[in-house]
Amino acid sequence: MTHVLVTGGAGYIGSHACKALAARGFVPVTFDNLSTGWAQAVKFGPLVQGDLTDRAALDAAFREYAPVAVMHFAAASLVGESMSNPGKYWRNNVMGSLNLIEAAAAAQCQEFVFSSTCAVYGEQDGVVLTEASHKAPINAYGSSKRAVEEILRDFGVSHGLRSVIFRYFNVAGADPEGVLGEYHRPETHLIPVMLEAIDGQRPELVIHGEDYPTHDGTCVRDYVHVFDLAEAHVLGLEWLREGKGSQVFNLGTGVGFSVREVIGHCRAATGKTVPHRFGPRRAGDAASLVSGSHRAIDLLGWEPQRSSLRLMIRDAWHWHRNGGYSG
């Protein structure tokens, strides 16, 4: 059996990647502390409950399963929280990742797929971001991810570690078969919060700011379906398995949607009106982030299948109505 260690495999994106890995014949080994993930999402391979700050637990997992590669999703990822509690992001995201990278190097596991973010680019409004765009993160979340990218580069020089880094921003949707989906407690992401609002699970959606320098005053983001994102990560792993070198890829559609526009698409996809009100800006939010993906399309052969906004909302709505996880 060909094992792949998937950190954060009980979480939203990681669990979808595990399903995609299993479909390609890999056995995903989920390493997760279940602080934000769900044991019910681990359906395609074993679960090792552990924390990235525990080097002994990591070493034990590498000894037991001898993975051929690491797919690293585990991270604290709330922009607002990263502004108020940056220490958490440097400890969890940077120190935890360093532990993981050192454990992989010690185990001679030389292939590493890393889930980064377009937040490494910071505030660059009005442009489509490419992999060569200047990196100037404006929050601790983006800064912590940029730091891990630099660690991977250094371990490539010192230990021959080869890595594929994916930078993306807003992930949405759910498994088309309804097996997996987005389920955070509390929920903070726009589309599931909208669905909770229209379903009466919260009184309303609060839109953080209406005075941004965008066409309608609300933040603009590029959305990619979690199914397509998971497929890209498997393609990245296959790139490394073929002996190709380290590479960075942006993942997005190249099209941005404002919060107001997402609300309109939600109404069209569900037939329901989203109750909402405007609140103050949230610290650390850029006005516009749109990510180009030509390199992933050209080099990996990535072909997004489900990344229309209406389809992402429809899949998320189907998952939401099924009730998510519990526990």
Under the banding of pLDDT at 50, 70 and 90, the label for residue 291 is: confident
Q: Does domain 3-171+222-251 have CATH number 3.40.50.720?
A: yes
Q: What is the pLDDT of residue 288?
A: 87
What is the enclosing helix (H) or strand (E) of 140?
helix 140-159
* Whole-angstrom distance, CA of residue 295 vs CA of residue 292: 8
Backbone angles phi, psi at 168, to 5 degrees: -145, 170
What residue spans in the chain does CATH classification 3.40.50.720 cover? 3-171+222-251
Confidence of residue 284 (pLDDT cuts 50, 70, 90): confident
Residue-wise pLDDT tens digits, 104-124: 999 999 999 999 998 999 877
Q: Which position has the higher pLDDT, 324 or 171?
A: 171
Beta-bridged to residue 224, according to DSSP, are 171
pTM score over 0.85: yes
The tens digit of pLDDT for each residue in 3-17 reads 999 999 999 999 999
CATH 3.90.25.10 domain locations along the chain = 190-221+254-322
Q: At 74, list the tokens.
A: 């585990």
CATH 3.50.50.60 given to domain 190-221+254-322: no
Q: Find where tokens 């495999």 sit.
A: 9
Inform me whether the pLDDT recorded for 50 exceeds 80.
yes
Annotated catalytic residue within 12, 89, 121, 141 = 141
The answer to whether residue 121 is catalytic is no
In contact, 241 and 68? CB cutoff 8 Å: yes
Mean pLDDT of 39-49: 97
Cα separation, 184 vs 127, whole angstroms: 31
